[in-house]
Amino acid sequence: MRIWILLPLLVGCAGSPTRHVEDAGAIGPYSSAVVAGDFVFVAGKIGERGSSFEHEVETCIDAVERTLADLDLNLGDVVETRVYLLDMERYGDFNAIYAKRFPDPYPARTCVAVAGLPGGARVELQVAARRR
């Protein structure tokens, strides 16, 4: 059964070159995004730190949006998100902003609390998108 679930993804990427998108502002050895066929996998993005949590979330989503725009995509093309929160008490605050920024129907999503994030961030957002 598991093979059948992965089959559409594998077939969708078959024969398509994989392209890695670099970001001069990356804070580690990773690609900012990877394009594999119709799918785009955007590495985790963080927002401006030292500001309010809400501003950090907004600028985090802005960073994701910029990477998608560079690849002629937008938040409406996102099919999955992974959210990493330093403090799960901010889950409701995050959701309020997320619901305003991402179009309905919303992407599939996972949200987990973590002990720490790079650069002292309070939130990190990773997405996968698909070209229509």
Q: How far is CA 95 from CA 89, 91, 101, in A?
A: 11, 6, 10
Count of domains for the chain: 1
pTM for the predicted model, two decimal places: 0.84
- Taking the chain, what is the end-to-end CA distance rounded to the nearest angstrom? 26
Residue from 84, 92, 82 nearest 54 by CA: 92
pLDDT along the chain (132 residues), means of 10: 48 63 67 93 92 95 96 98 98 98 98 96 98 90
Q: Is 72 exposed, middle or buried (0-12, 13-18, 19+ CB in 10 A)?
A: exposed
Q: Which domain holds residue 105?
A: 2-130
**pLDDT at 27 (0 to 100):** 66
- Distance CA(108)–CA(39), nearest Å, equals 15
Query: For the domain that residue 32 is a member of, what is the CATH number?
Result: 3.30.1330.40
